Structure 1
Amino acid sequence: MIPVCRIEDLPIGESVRIEIDEVTPAIAVFHTDEGLYAVDDLCSHQDASLSEGWVEGCFVECPLHAALFDLRTGAPSCLPARRPVRTHEVSVLEGMVHVRPAVREEAVA
């Protein structure tokens, strides 16, 4: 698990972007009315940071072309995005938000 921030430093409706290393894609962590969620920060449609998008309920709207992603599943709910973004496990331990990055699927040759 990777520590992100203290829960009180991530108000409801806000997000934070974390970078782990040079090979792991950045992750956006969102605090919604329904809970905490984490997805890959990069929109699956085009290069845009989802952590800079708008959160409503359990959805984030991409700031570039308004594609909506369900933070619970990573699935897009409208065009222009067609592919989901990867989701990650989030937990709070002793007031600290942690993320467990999902295992990357290796490309099949």
Structure 2
Amino acid sequence: MSNDKWIDALGTDELPSDDVVGISVEGRDIALYTVGDEVYATDNMCTHGQARLCDGFLEGHEIECPLHQGKFDVRNGQPTCDPVTVPLRSYPVRIEGSRVFLQLD
């Protein structure tokens, strides 16, 4: 069963250019990544250690954890290098006008 509930997360003017920002949406810690004209969303907590990915380094489609330098692909949450092995949960993103919407479930 698919959920078509989209949640208004923030304004597009609050998105950093080619960077990552951490936000709280319905009690969840979410990382939003802007890569060129695309916006991606994942859980903000690294699956390897207790570090917030919004404090990491975004290069292209990879976010580097600030704690152990593991990396994830922000498009799908998949690990791209050690020591991370467990994927991040990723979320669909939709831009409507000047608002960013997320589908969390």
**Class of the TM-score when normalised by the shorter of the 2 chains:** 0.7 to 0.9
Alignment of 1:59 onto 2:52: no
CA contact (8 A) 1:34 1:57 kept: no
Partner of 2:3: none
Report the CA distance between 1:100 and its aligned residue.
Answer: 1.1
Alignment of 1:36 onto 2:51: no
Secondary structure, aligned partner of 1:8? helix
Letter in 1 for 2:20: S
Alignment of 1:19 onto 2:27: no
Letter in 1 for 2:18: G
Give percent identity, aligned residues only. Answer: 33
What is the root-mean-square deviation in Å for CA atoms of aligned residues?
1.5
Partner of 1:3: 8
Letter in 1 for 2:47: S
Cα separation, 1, equivalents of 2:7 and 2:20: 16
Partner of 2:98: 95
Higher strand share: 2
Q: Which runs of 4+ in 1 moved over 3 A?
A: none
Match of 1:49 among 49, 52, 59: 52
Cα separation, 2, equivalents of 1:7 and 1:17: 14
Secondary structure, aligned partner of 2:25? coil
Aligned length in residues: 100
Alignment of 1:72 onto 2:75: yes
Unaligned residue ranges in structure 1 (runs of 5+): 104-109
